[in-house]
Structure 1
Amino acid sequence: MNEKGMAADDGKRLFKQVYDHVIHRIEHGEWKAHEKLPSIRQLAEELGVHRLTVFRAYQMLKHNEKVYVKEKSGYYVNPNDPDRVVLEYGEDQPIVASGKLINSLSDIQRVSAAYQFSQALIDPNLLPNLFLSDYVKKVFDLYPKLMGTYSTVQGDEELREVLSRYMMQNHHTQLQASDIMITTGAQQAIDLLSRIFISPMDAVMIERPTYSAAIDIFRQQRARFIPVDIHHYGYDIANVERLMKQYKPRFFYMNPTFHNPTGYTVPSSQRKQLVELAERYRCLLIEDDAFHDMHFDGPPPQPLFTYDTEGWVVYLRSFSKYVAPGLRICAIIASPTVMKLLFTAKSLADNGSPLVNQKIFLHYFQSERLQQHIEKLRIALQVRRDIMEKELTPTGWNWVSPRGGLNLWIKLPEAIPVEQFLKECMQQSISFVPGIICDPLRKMRSQIRLSYSFINEKQLQQGVKNLVTVADRYS
């Protein structure tokens, strides 16, 4: 696409962002029924956009009956908007919801399915459940008053000390326990960071595609998305620099190691360049690393944060996926400036993650059994990846075989309508993630994510056969 085409595409995205911004403020009750909206000039100045962009957004609001127009007066909130979320509480006391909370991935995963390809989780039968139960008993013997106290907001100091030594040993970087915060999974970390750094209409760089829950979290904060395509070779670094320079984003959220949903891994050479760009354009990098140890052909490159000397990388290292998902343990590594902000945000969210979970994880994490478990788990996941790929090979569908992680990112033929395909698969008790919810532009209508990690080998083989059978109806 040439520069003119890119500018036009940016304009299309921007007026839709303004539209969403107005809708959000109406839903939050900032502008009530029959109340006049700001003039086109006023809102354009407030948001820092062209007046034509606001005009197009207002026209779309009018077309969708969100607002109405009084001639020579302006735009007003339509009291008869059929989509407005109102919960009745008594006869005369309506409670208006503060907004439409969306979690597209959760909506799919809540549906029960025998062949669950939408869950990027590990089969519980692959986890050392009996061994973990023994550790639970051991932990309560060591800490008999464990249930009677809170964790600190930053997290258990003993756990943070162990994790700092682990990071220094494995990633050759200097860390202290004070550089680490424990959160209840990576998703809480993403949510906290979004609350700290995103104000309405702030520009945020985000991979395309990316983790769908992150999209929903950032959208709830009314971020303005600046998509960055991720490929099997990484990013177009020149384009990343252009976007940082042009939009001055608050941060770039990325998942560069066994990327979710594609499985791609960004090479070392680009990681160093990305940190240099972050320093040059003062753009925070949020590095989400959920699958680092789930490699099949050797360890991945070192995380971006190992190249960072100025504090421009916030590193999220989740251990929940492959150690004990129920414990929900994630470590945030951040500069003192960011950590101070996280203190306040975390204290408002839960005043500290559960201490029981942290102590159980701590003692299991230090055991020799953990390393044996991880080695066996890598083999089991690679076998399941191979089974899924073997069953899919006759279809002629396109994907890049991942060298780690839990997912296949597949390009289906144009003849298969993914929304209808998902509906029919659900009727056959098969679930998967449609690519559109992983796309901040919501245009990836031919891609799907299949997770090969959650069901056993026999179920996996049969489930993929059934999925292909449903797809054959569209041939």
Structure 2
Amino acid sequence: MSKAIQNEGYLFKQVYDYVMHRIERKEWNEHDKLPSVRQLAADMNVHRLTVLKAYKLLKQDGKVYVKDKSGYYVQTSMKENNDFENIQYVSANVQKKHLSDINQVPVSYHFSQALIDPNLLPNHYFSDYVKKVFDLYPKVLATYSTVQGDEELRESLTHYFINQYKTHLHADDLLITSGSQQAIHLLSQAFIKPRDTVLFERPSYSAAIDIFRAQGANIITVDIHPDGYDLEQVESYMKRYKPRLFYLNPTFHNPTGYTVPADQRKKLVELAEQYRCLLIEDDAYHDIYFKETPPPPIYTYDTVGTVIYIRSFCKYISPGLRIATVICHSSVLKSLLSMKSLADNGSPLLNQKIFLHYFSSLRMQQHLEKLRIALQIRKEIMEEELAATNWQWTSPHGGLNLWIKLPDHFSSELLLTKSIQQSISFVPGQLCDPLNQLSSWIRLSYSYVNEKQLREGVRRFVDVAGCLSPPESC
């Protein structure tokens, strides 16, 4: 097959996926007119025949319809099935969608949820703490936050980062967002146009893949290994493709749990400076380590504003508060503030004040120490129950997930269908792969269910998988 034909097929799929993501995200609703073939071809910098081919297949798949001499329109969706008791129907279709669809399926053993068991969080203490916050800030519910975020919180986080990493930082360098996912979305809107090239780890965080793909980004993948990246590959891709940015998750990586060593972090900054590529460092698990603390974030090696650092605190403090911060150069911050003002005009002030006073408390440090022990125990339980299989994984030193290689004959999609029928969920590897492959890999999260459920659920899961080996036995 010629390179030209390969490229045409790739571009056609990009156009198809781009339109589908816009429809699924309700950016284009039922009966909305789609851009003309000529307009979309210009927007995505592809040939008009490529767009026409994608539109025709969308029509064939029942996603769009045609009005004579008018153009293509979004098709009326079929009535959604809301009967969640019909697990078999859900399981047959869920793998075609997104991680959020899997997490919404009602199961007993949630191995798809990279969240912490609510029973491990300081809920009673939080309840008392909220009352104190209202005493300190009696008008908090009658006041908006600034778009950039509460100044008192930004000052506190600035002191925290300076003390932790000995970096030069000012409160004006920080932006408070409603979780890391909002930060990623704002960055994609601020810096990515259709057909812009971005580098992504393979595998990667599934929501980030969806966000950048919805913007029409051309995603080029960089393999991540237990010992980090092939830096020669990274440099080659930066030189060849001239990417706008490189999205990475180098500390207890989601989904693999790998951690990129310190020497590679420094080299990545040097490469990014040399080839004018922004690094987006997504750091959601930095404090969830089991033994040794991880290396300092990549941004600590940056001196010229090449790194945009996203630090989320939702996972281990309170998912409901949705607090994350972005540290970046003033030129980047200006663009993000414009996008943030359009998104929500500032994250809720009450959430920021609650987080501020808990994060700086002694109770917070005590909570973290206990949480690390509890999560390490759960990881070890899952590994004990999986030890009898011939599956392969690298035991992580932190984070919430195991990234597991199944035997080659396994189909993770079929395994998901059978598992949901037994009230078990997990994440198929395809959802974490920008190339939509890795079908014999899965992500199992050990953090959401309690220890008893964890042991029972993994045993049941191994039994389900056993039914599929060899595949003709089921």
> TM-score normalized by structure 1?
0.86
Question: Structure 1 pair 140/417, CA: closer, same or farther in 2 (3 Å)?
Answer: same
Change (3 A) 1:60 1:162: closer
Quick check: 2:12–2:54 contact (8 Å CA) kept in 1? Answer: no
Quickly say closer, same or farther: Cα 1:237–1:108, change in 2 above 3 A: same
Mapped pair 1:198 → 2:192: yes
Q: Give 1:85's match in structure 2, choosing from 75, 80, 98.
A: 75
Q: Does 1:429 align with 2:431?
A: no
Contact 2:428 2:442 in 1 (8 A): yes
What are the Cα deviations for residues 404-446 of structure 1, in whole angstroms up to 9, with x where unaligned?
0000001111232211211111111111111111111101111
Aligned residue number for residue 37 of structure 1: 37
Q: Does residue 230 in structure 1 map to residue 224 in structure 2?
A: yes
> 1:83-111 deviations in whole A, cap 9, x for unaligned?
943379xxxxxxxxxxxxx9711111011
* Residue 163 of structure 2 is aligned to residue 165 of structure 1: no
SS in structure 1 of the partner of residue 402 of structure 2: strand
User: CA contact under 8 A between 1:34 and 1:78: conserved in structure 2?
Assistant: no
**Aligned pairs, number:** 444
- How do 1:454-473 residues align onto structure 2 when only pairs under 5 Å count? 454-473=448-467
Q: Kindly indicate whether residue 114 of structure 2 is the aligned counterpart of residue 125 of structure 1.
A: no
Deviation at 1:290, TM superposition (A): 0.1
Instruction: Out of 102-111 and 179-188, give the one that drifted further.
Output: 102-111
Counterpart residue number, 1:300: 294
Structure 2 contact 358–364 (Cα < 8 Å) conserved: yes
Q: Residue deviations 1:359-401, cap 9 Å, x none?
A: 1111111111111110111111000000000000111101110
Structure 2 portions without partners, runs of 5+: 79-95, 470-474
Unmatched 5+ stretches in structure 1: 68-75, 89-101
Same amino acid, percent of matched pairs:
58
**8 Å contact 1:103–1:216 — kept in the other structure?**
no
Shift of 1:196: 0.5
Aligned to 2:84: none
Q: Distance in 2 between matches of 1:245 and 1:235?
A: 16
Matches within 5 A, 1:72-471: 78-79=66-67, 84-86=74-76, 104-471=98-465
- 2:430–2:438 Cα contact (<8 Å) kept: yes
Distance 1:252 1:135, change over 3 A: same
User: Structure 1 residue 241: deviation in Å?
Assistant: 1.1
> Given the superposition, is the C-alpha separation of residues 351 and 463 from structure 1 closer, same or farther in structure 2, using an over 3 Å criterion?
same
Q: Is the 8 A contact 1:210 1:260 kept in 2?
A: yes
Which letter does structure 2 place at the counterpart of 1:313?
A: V
Q: Secondary structure at the match of 1:383?
A: helix
**What whole-Å deviation, never above 9, does each CA across 1:214-248 have from its counterpart, x for those lacking one?**
11111111111111111111111111111111111
Question: In 1, distance between residues paired with 2:238 and 2:35?
Answer: 37
Describe the SS at the equivalent of 1:38. Answer: helix
Q: 1:24 to 1:330 in 2, by over 3 A?
A: closer
Equivalent pair of 2:18/2:215 in contact (CA under 8 Å): no
Specify whether residues 174 and 350 from structure 1 end up closer, same or farther in structure 2 by C-alpha distance, changes over 3 A only: same
- 1:94-141: per-residue Cα shift (whole Å, max 9, x none)? xxxxxxxx9711111011111110110111111111111111111111
Query: What secondary structure does 1:161 align onto?
Result: helix
Superposed CA deviations along residues 244-264 of structure 1, whole A, max 9, x for unmatched, are 111111111110000000001
SS in 2 for 1:166: helix
Structure 1 residues 87 and 303, CA gap change in structure 2 (3 angstroms): same
Secondary structure of the corresponding residue to residue 467 of structure 1? helix
